[in-house]
Amino acid sequence: MKLWEKGINPEPAIIEFTAGRDRKTDLHLTKWDIVGSMAHVIMLGDVGLISSDERNEMLKALHSLFVWDEKGSLVIEKDVEDIHSQIEKEMASILGTTGRKIHTGRSRNDQVLVDIRLYMREEIDNLAHQMQKLFSRLQSLSDQYREVLLPGYTHMQPAMPSSFGLWFGSYAECLADDLLVLSAARALNNRNPLGTAAGFGTTLPLNRKLTSELLEFDDLLYNSAYASLSRGKVEMAIASALASVAQTLGRFSMDICLYMTAEFRFIDFPDEYVTGSSIMPQKRNPDVFELIRGRSNVIQALPNEIAMLISNLPSGYNRDLQLLKQIVFDAFDDVKECMEIMLLMLNNIKVRRNITDNTLYNTIFSTEEVNRLVKQGIPFRDAYKAVADIVKNGPFSRTSVNDYVHEGSIGNLCNEEIASIFSERMKCFKNKSAGELADKMMGYVK
């Protein structure tokens, strides 16, 4: 079954190629296609395009399909092109003529758009809550090891005293800013395209604001032509947010790989969390973090991949856009998997103490020696030159975290303030589940 059939049997190879991976990818959208259809049916009844009895019958049938899908029983049949066609086929099978009215006032274009936006809203919110778990763990580690000194590096050379508290906390604040980028992508995504049809509206008296309220969108996509143009723009924004998260995961993973080397040994993990070599008995490999780093690098290429896909497309729908679904859906899965395994690893991380007792790191306290002279009234540049002359001979007095008092330093991490920022930014990630929305729609059955 194809929604565009006109009595001509299409060449099977054409259907197979143009459908691509949709038969598998569309299963991500099933529950949202049903929920979007429920909102559409309520609206059709509200404007008088279907009767109250037809609305009630269609809502009940759609809800039964929703339950069927939750049990894993709703599949795309072999001769059916996509999930939209399957659901329409099921509705016709259940309700006959009434079921065939479900497509009134919409195109497959706006139907797909609303499904994708609802799906991506849920994925965005799920990712935000997963980020919250990782953020909390990083902050917990920052608090736990706030007084454990760690050499800070610039240009890959020992530079100044740092701490595990500062290091863990820096990546927590990274996630807070990643969350801000994700919230912007959510706001761009959370506007309703339903009712724009094929991109040119319809002569039917639709109430698009009603479907927006039912589906809990922030607002409409007003211009019908822009609804099609927005496809790719929203995915680009989401891809950029995912790339931002991936950059944080990737850089943190690189630090872990470095700090686990025999030359550093700043951190470690239990034997069951590392891998080995088939030939070298001593090897303890950070494979998990190498894979997170690699997968994060691939995700960071996603905005460019989308840009190449949508660049120079004419306005209106073009089949190229079909390819967006798979790459964005896969990226969500990749980021979530990386975060899940990273959280598992961080729940088992071992931190080495007394690292800076090693004489190798004597010179990292030289800047603090300059500052001690400055506090005595010596001009900074003179103090710098004096300390530079004795750097080779050291050692210098060790720094304590208590010597640092300004906001964001190793003695004043401001973790509470960062947590407050994160908590405030989490407030927008509050969508209802598909099941909750479906139950709300059933309240219109009378």
Decide if pLDDT at 76 tops 80.
Answer: yes
pLDDT tens-place string over residues 369-397: 999 999 999 999 999 999 999 887 778 88
Decide if pLDDT at 153 tops 50.
Answer: yes
Give the orientation angle of helix 108-144 with respect to helix 30-46, to 10 degrees: 130
**What confidence score (pLDDT) does residue 4 get?**
45
Choice between 395 and 240, residue whose per-residue pLDDT is larger: 240
Which range (119-123, 163-167, 356-360, 412-416) has the least confidence? 356-360
How much of the chain exceeds pLDDT 90, in percent?
A: 77
Please state the separation of Cα 152 from the chain's center in Å: 30
Decide if pLDDT at 55 tops 70.
Answer: yes
**What confidence score (pLDDT) does residue 281 get?**
77
Decide if pLDDT at 3 tops 60.
Answer: no
**What confidence score (pLDDT) does residue 283 get?**
76
Decide if pLDDT at 21 tops 70.
Answer: no
Q: Report residue 68's pLDDT band, with 50, 70 and 90 as the boundaries.
A: very high
Mean pLDDT, all residues of the chain: 92
Decide if pLDDT at 1 tops 70.
Answer: no
Average pLDDT of the residues in 35-60: 98
Q: Report residue 210's pLDDT band, with 50, 70 and 90 as the boundaries.
A: very high
Q: What tokens were used for 241? A: 């947010």
pLDDT tens-place string over residues 320-342: 888 888 899 999 999 999 999 99
CA dihedral sign, ordered 352, 356, 359, 360: positive
